[in-house]
Structure 1
Amino acid sequence: MTSELQQQAKEPVSAAMAGPYGHPLHPMLVTVPIGAWVASLVFDVASYLVGDPAFLVKGSLWLIAVGVLGALAAALVGFLDLFAVPTGTPAHRTALVHMALVLAVTAGYVVGFLWRRGTVEAAGPVGLGPLLLSVGCLLALAVAGFLGGKLAFRYGVRVADEATQAEGYRRPAEPTAPAQDRSTVSP
């Protein structure tokens, strides 16, 4: 039963929308909001170090917007991946906490965007409040990322099973094993 539940979490609910077996789209898409939001914080800090910080303040605002849009795309695909994780399992509970944190972070950045939007034309660096909100959001995002890593690397959610992974470790001189149906392979 456990191996069936593990295999269920490896298969996409919709390969067309979430990525085919062994190639999930969610990990690829999360790089957009993570990169945009980290760069936004770098711009925020840099706005305190230059004489005319207006370009950094505006850049940070738009990096936050790019991050929110990227997070929404990643969330849609991640939500599909959640459907593959059997309910009532530690992997499912971890996935729910991961999702809740990421949604809270995204909401925090939406609030930050709206807050900054009203003050973007003001002279000077990013305000202390929006800066602290970004720091808090990034810290929560780091925890969410840790949980996402736990889903993939500890629980194997959307990761190919060991028999499929073994293809990458076969030396050219070794005979290949007969092809097996993925749905019957026990990890």
Structure 2
Amino acid sequence: MPQCASPIANFFRRLTEDTHAYSREYLQASHPSDAGCLSDRSLGFSLVCDVIRVAGAPGEAWAIVALYSMVGGLVGALGAAIPGFIDLLFYKGGAPPVGKIALTHMAINLTVVVLYAINIWMRMRSPASVSPGLSTPVLRSIAGVALLFVSGWLGGQTVHVYGVGVEGRE
């Protein structure tokens, strides 16, 4: 590309070229299920809301925010499951532990989805079930977030160590 007469114009041209090259490199090296991290954060935030509620925050606002955050996290998890399942179906093989890791990751994620679906159902059926104390829905949220940590680590192994779903690495 020809140089512009202005040093300022050259600076912005180089900046946009570098940014475009970085974006293209990131997109090629990233995994399509990175959107799953958003659902993990939503479900984690719902636990933070529950902890604030258990700590004695007055009113029902934190319980309501936790519920809506769970619904958003559940929808996001189901959306992220689609490219993850496609990766699993079309995985060509490679390092021996990858298949087992991927199936374990999927099983834990499905367990978390069921756990949170039950949690949402319980909270919608009886909003009073989230009392200012450790109630069953709060304990279920703690278990769900703990499982998400394990599943996230396993998913990170498949993508960042073994390159599953990363263009050009399989």
TM-score range, shorter chain: 0.7 to 0.9
Q: Residue 164 of structure 2 is aligned with which of 157, 179, 187? A: 157
Alpha-carbon distance between aligned partners in 2 of 1:99 and 1:110, rounded to the nearest angstrom: 16
1:35 matched to 2:15: no
Provide the residue aligned with 1:179 in structure 2.
none
Alpha-carbon distance between aligned partners in 2 of 1:107 and 1:57, rounded to the nearest angstrom: 20
Q: Residue 53 of structure 1 is aligned with which of 59, 76, 88? A: 59
Deviation of the 1:105 alpha carbon? 0.5
Question: Which amino acid is the alignment partner of residue 22 of structure 1?
Answer: A
Deviation of the 1:122 alpha carbon? 6.7
CA 1:51/1:69 → structure 2, altered by over 3 Å: closer, same or farther?
closer
Alpha-carbon distance between aligned partners in 1 of 2:165 and 2:131, rounded to the nearest angstrom: 46
Cα RMSD between the aligned structures? 2.3
Structure number with the higher helix fraction is: 2
Alpha-carbon distance between aligned partners in 2 of 1:118 and 1:91, rounded to the nearest angstrom: 40
CA 1:84/1:101 → structure 2, altered by over 3 Å: closer, same or farther?
same
Q: Residue 126 of structure 2 is aligned with which of 119, 123, 126? A: 119
Alpha-carbon distance between aligned partners in 1 of 2:99 and 2:129, rounded to the nearest angstrom: 45
Provide the residue aligned with 2:113 in structure 1.
106
1:142 matched to 2:146: no
Provide the residue aligned with 1:44 in structure 2.
50
Alpha-carbon distance between aligned partners in 2 of 1:32 and 1:61, rounded to the nearest angstrom: 16
CA 1:52/1:122 → structure 2, altered by over 3 Å: closer, same or farther?
farther
Alpha-carbon distance between aligned partners in 2 of 1:116 and 1:122, rounded to the nearest angstrom: 6
Deviation of the 1:80 alpha carbon? 0.9
Sequence identity, in percent? 29
Alpha-carbon distance between aligned partners in 2 of 1:110 and 1:123, rounded to the nearest angstrom: 15
Asked if structure 1 preserves the Cα contact closer than 8 Å seen for 2:129 and 2:135, the reply is: no
Alpha-carbon distance between aligned partners in 2 of 1:41 and 1:61, rounded to the nearest angstrom: 10
Unaligned runs of 5+ in 2: 1-26
Aligned residues: 143
Question: Which amino acid is the alignment partner of residue 47 of structure 1?
Answer: R
Asked if structure 2 preserves the Cα contact closer than 8 Å seen for 1:101 and 1:140, the reply is: yes
Deviation of the 1:77 alpha carbon? 1.3
Q: How does 1:78-93 map to 2 (within 5 A)?
A: 78-86=84-92, 89-93=96-100
Alpha-carbon distance between aligned partners in 2 of 1:68 and 1:41, rounded to the nearest angstrom: 14
Deviation of the 1:51 alpha carbon? 4.4
TM-score, normalised to structure 1, is: 0.68
Alpha-carbon distance between aligned partners in 2 of 1:102 and 1:111, rounded to the nearest angstrom: 14
Provide the residue aligned with 2:136 in structure 1.
129
Unaligned runs of 5+ in 1: 1-19, 163-186
Deviation of the 1:50 alpha carbon? 3.9
